[in-house]
Amino acid sequence: MSREHTGSRWVVRVLLAACSVAFVLPFVWLVSTSLKPIEQTISLPLTLIPREYLADVGGRNVEVTLDFQVAKPGAVVRYRSGADAGKLGFATAAQLAHGLDAALVHPVDAGDWHVTEKQASGQAAGQPAWDILARDRVSSRVHFRWDNYPKALAALGGDAEADRHRVGFWTFLGNSLVVAVLGVVGTVLSNAIVAYGFARLRWRGRDAFFALTLATMMVPFPVLMVPLYGVFKAMGLIGTLLPLWLPTWFGSAFNIFLMRQFFRTIPEELSEAARIDGCSEWRIFWRIIVPLSTPVLVVSALFHFIFAWNDFLGPLLYLTRKDTYTLALALESYQSQNGGVQWHYLMAASAVTILPVILLFLLAQKTFIRGIATTGSKN
């Protein structure tokens, strides 16, 4: 093997590795954020590995949050009089020099960390203890917050006390599965039948109709959104899951094209032999073409499953009740709960949401790649 050829292979490998890192990094960051406490998800500088910080606050070794670094030297004091009598506070060197009526607890240098005791879940609300400590007095260790996942799934449906119509994660999951699975069945069946008609049957105007079918791919969904909404409203289907999977039973241009190209790679001699044996077109399609077309059927099924699972615009347009929400719409709804975004819970719920798609792709990876590689190899 020549040196130039070896060098070009290494260049390709480096480029592929760089692209892989670029695609994987957002997922790694999502998982990392899902395992952090809320304060570490928005802290600077950014950290990839979740950590737990421990310090001696009020005579107890407790978990703390690193709030900020003190800019000026001074001291932690305990006030003797006034409204804050008996409470701790921070006083600068200038305030101490002016005779502040407070007892010195310990000095503070510039750059020391203001830390606050982290209250455990379920602990009674109150004024958390705090202190200002040097960084070497705060210990840390790696700590993955796996309990974020059950808490995120429990919070996804809303606050049980504030929302009487609270819907749980399993309802959202069931709705997404209904839409995705029924859509996959409709996609595979309807598109395979239409694609077989375009690929193997000879009839007048076939190529013109196929060209017209492909032309529909240039029409974006927002153009069809209003008339489709009117059709489904007239049928009384708004607020149900039907508008999300029923259209898949009437074919789609992309999948018809994909299957047609694959069907044309199957030798026509197989169909001719079956016709000689007395098989009808339906039996030829069902007994010969479909078993040989597993790769392209899996590709179409996987494409539609991913689309239906991640679809947000469709559920947002057609669904009106929370008990019909899919996971994509439930995640968006969760962002505005409780007056703010709990980023660690949102990332945990997002990780659980995309997990079925990842597992499905890994299970069907070989068939998927084979279907993509063999589709369109014959004109």
Which pTM value belongs to this model?
Answer: 0.81
Residues 257 and 322 in one domain: yes
Q: Has residue 42 been placed in a domain?
A: no
Residues 27 and 75 in one domain: no
Domain count, the chain: 3
pLDDT value of residue 35: 92
Q: Has residue 70 been placed in a domain?
A: yes
Residues 273 and 332 in one domain: yes
d(C-alpha 122, C-alpha 153), whole Å: 18
pLDDT value of residue 4: 61
pLDDT value of residue 126: 52
Strands 102-108 and 74-79: antiparallel
Domain membership of residue 118 as a residue range: 50-147
Q: Is 45 helix (H, G, I), strand (E, B) or coil?
A: coil
Residues 131 and 215 in one domain: no
Residues 189 and 236 in one domain: yes
Q: Has residue 159 been placed in a domain?
A: no
d(C-alpha 331, C-alpha 333), whole Å: 5
Q: Which of 85, 112, 147 is the last residue of a domain?
A: 147
- The CA distances from residue 87 to 47, 102, 105, 171, in Å, are 34, 10, 11, 49
Give me the DSSP letters along 309-320.
HH--HHHHHH--
Residues 29 and 55 in one domain: no
d(C-alpha 162, C-alpha 338), whole Å: 10
d(C-alpha 339, C-alpha 201), whole Å: 60
Residues 330 and 195 in one domain: yes
Q: Is 376 helix (H, G, I), strand (E, B) or coil?
A: coil
Q: Has residue 45 been placed in a domain?
A: no
Q: Which of 117, 147, 177 is the last residue of a domain?
A: 147
Residue 111 zone, left/alpha/beta (φ > 0; ψ -120 to 50; rest): left
Residues 185 and 95 in one domain: no
Q: Has residue 163 been placed in a domain?
A: no
Q: Has residue 154 been placed in a domain?
A: no
* Per-residue pLDDT of the chain in tens (379 residues, 90 and over written 9): 566 667 788 888 889 898 888 888 988 999 999 999 988 888 777 888 898 999 888 778 888 888 888 888 888 888 887 777 778 888 887 777 777 778 888 888 888 888 888 876 544 455 678 888 888 888 889 999 999 999 888 887 654 444 555 678 889 999 999 999 999 999 999 999 999 999 888 889 888 999 999 999 998 888 889 999 999 999 999 999 999 999 999 989 999 999 998 898 888 888 888 888 888 888 999 988 999 888 889 889 999 999 999 999 999 999 998 889 999 998 888 876 655 678 888 899 999 999 888 888 888 777 767 666 665 445 4
Q: Is 98 helix (H, G, I), strand (E, B) or coil?
A: coil
Residues 276 and 173 in one domain: yes
Residues 184 and 287 in one domain: yes
Residues 54 and 30 in one domain: no
Q: Has residue 186 been placed in a domain?
A: yes
Phi/psi of residue 306, nearest 5 degrees: -65, -45
273, HSE (Cβ side, Cα atoms, 13 Å):
7
- On the 0-12 / 13-18 / 19+ scale of CB atoms within 10 A, 13 is exposed
Residues 77 and 7 in one domain: no
Q: Has residue 40 been placed in a domain?
A: no
